[in-house]
Amino acid sequence: MFVPCGESVPDFTGFTLLMPAVSVGNVGQLAMDLIISTLNMSKIGYFYTDCLVPMVGNNPYATAEEDSTELTINAEVYSLPSRKLVALQLRSVFIKYKSKPFCEKLLSWVKSSSCARVIVLSSSHSSHRNDLQLRSTPFRYLLTPSMQKSVVTKIKSLNWEEMEKSPCIPQMNDSELCIRIPGGGITKALYDESCSKEIQMAILLKFVSEGDNIPDALGLVGYLNEWLQIIKPRNDGPAAPALPWKLPSSWKLLFGSALPPALF
């Protein structure tokens, strides 16, 4: 499934895998763009899979004309060995009935490559929140049992709120309670599969609505940064310290090109 760019397969032993879920507002994917661009992570390979809709495009992280013509595809892997981070970016949607096989193959690769843990960045429909969720922070986390053992103390110190269980059948209060993530794409499937395979996984998500989701992506990477300390805050004055996330060049066309002046 994983195909390296070079002749040898990189060693991911002890690495943390960061990846998005293709979910409402594409918030996880936008957040991954920010991480890859800010850390200037190097592309080391790609995933060869028939589970995603095929696509090809120009380099989304181009910084000069020379590298703007490099091609990118639907599932690519980036790495930052100095921080023991590896990132999987997904750029297209899943083919019908192919999301579960993808999750199984991905997590099998995680185990065979000896990654220490997986962190999934995701989102969920804000319109599906209950009264308690409406009155609290829009961010939630979810940990597999094997992950809880290793990070429970750190997570408690952050005062984060865990994803609540809700009726498995909506609108039926006497229904059995379970984890539901409406609009979360493969998030729940990844979580369930990781629990059964005893993989250390954390889900970080934000309740969002469709629209301009750049602020949601910035909020989600800031939420992740509280835990991993990927980058340090920048303090330019009396205002609250800001996180210097680098917006990728591809975001200039996130909503299409500007209106042609001739229109007016």
Query: Percentage of residues in the chain with pLDDT exceeding 90?
Result: 66
Q: Look up residue 98 and give its two tokens.
A: 């192919």
Mean residue pLDDT across the chain: 89
List pLDDT tens digits, range 32-58: 999 999 999 999 999 999 999 999 998
Q: Are strands 42-47 and 2-4 parallel, antiparallel or unpaired?
A: antiparallel
Half-sphere exposure of 67 (CA within 13 A, CB side): 11
For the chain, how are helix, strand and coil distributed in percent, rounded to 5?
Answer: 35, 25, 40
Q: What is the dihedral of CA 181, 184, 190, 196, to 10 degrees?
A: 10
Backbone angles phi, psi at 216, to 5 degrees: -65, -40
Bridge partners, residue 2, by sequence? 47
Overall fold of domain 2-263 = Rossmann fold (3.40.50)
Residue 188 pLDDT exceeds 80 = yes
Q: Are strands 166-167 and 139-143 parallel, antiparallel or unpaired?
A: unpaired
- Confidence band of 236 (pLDDT split at 50, 70, 90): low
Mean pLDDT of 245-255: 85
> What whole-number distance in Å separates Cα of residue 101 and Cα of residue 119?
19
> What whole-number distance in Å separates Cα of residue 93 and Cα of residue 89?
12
Q: Looking at residue 135, what is its pLDDT?
A: 85
- Confidence band of 233 (pLDDT split at 50, 70, 90): confident
pTM: 0.90
